[in-house]
Amino acid sequence: MSRALAGADLLAAARSAPGFMPDDEGTALYAAACDVAVPGPLLEVGSWMGRSALYLAAAARESGRLVITVDHHRGSEEHQPGWEYHDPSLVDPEVGLVDTLPRFRRTIADAGAEDVVIAVVTRSEVLAPLWSTPLALLFLDGSHTEESAQRDQDAWVAKLAVGGTLAIHDVFPDPADGGRAPFGVYTRVLASGDFEELPGTGSLRLLRRLR
């Protein structure tokens, strides 16, 4: 049995965990998850090695919720051989593919968060048709190609409860700062008229579902 840590301890664990999310954005994600008023779980699409999951776990611990993480753990395009963020140590030699699941599980176990974080190992569009529980918070941070970002939007945004919060990571209005796919999701969702924007931090955008 893993030890169950308090929310503040999980925040500290998140800050030292492997990952790409800056602490100011992670703390903003934690605060947004704490502030959401409707019932339901917190679900993230795209987990890497678990850093963002721990920010959500800290909020879940304090609010009595659960965190669902959805990731195939084979890495995004930029993590594959020949790409900028490829790490050979993450390749499973038996199958020749990236496998971040062992590192993710170690991150969650070391932080004492196994009781609040439930990992689903599959592609998000495979799980989505099977999912029926309204979400209190949806965090989109999966693959950033146009096709996959649109697919995640189509699969999951409708599952957010009215009054729930949509968090989108790596939203960069200036193309020079990063990929455009998350920005496209953000602009499409906002243009739908079904959401209002909340204060964001850095590349993290937050929106509340109105209807």
CA distance 85 to 102: 18
Buried b (16+ CB within 10 A) or exposed e, 76-93: beebeeeeeeeeeebbee
CA distance 70 to 174: 28
DSSP strand pairing (195-201 vs 204-209):
antiparallel
Tell me how long the chain is. 211
- pLDDT tens by residue, 162-189: 999 999 999 999 988 887 899 999 999 9
Q: Residue 9 has what pLDDT?
A: 93
Write down all domains in the chain, each with its CATH number in brackets.
Answer: 7-209 (3.40.50.150)
Sign of CA dihedral 96, 75, 129, 117: positive
Q: What is the largest CA-CA distance in the chain?
A: 48
- Placement of tokens 């776990």 in the chain: 57
CA distance 199 to 211: 19
Residue 175 per-residue DSSP state:
G
Q: Which of 202, 53, 207 is nearest to 141 (CA)?
A: 53
Question: Please, which residues bridge with residue 91 across strands?
Answer: 98
72 a catalytic residue: no
More confidently predicted of 79 and 108: 108
Q: Which residues contact 92 (CB under 8 A, 6 or more apart)?
A: 98, 99
CA distance 151 to 166: 15
Per-residue confidence band for 2, with pLDDT thresholds at 50, 70 and 90:
very low
- pLDDT tens by residue, 18-60: 988 999 999 999 999 999 999 999 999 999 999 999 999 999 9
- 171 near 186, Cβ under 8 Å? yes
Q: Residue 80 has what pLDDT?
A: 58
- pLDDT tens by residue, 86-101: 677 777 778 778 899 9
Question: Please, which residues bridge with residue 140 across strands?
Answer: 45, 168
- 102 near 94, Cβ under 8 Å? no
Q: Which of 72, 73, 79, 144 is catalytic?
A: 144
Per-residue confidence band for 5, with pLDDT thresholds at 50, 70 and 90:
low
Q: Residue 75 has what pLDDT?
A: 75
Q: What is the mean pLDDT of the chain?
A: 92
pTM of the model: 0.92
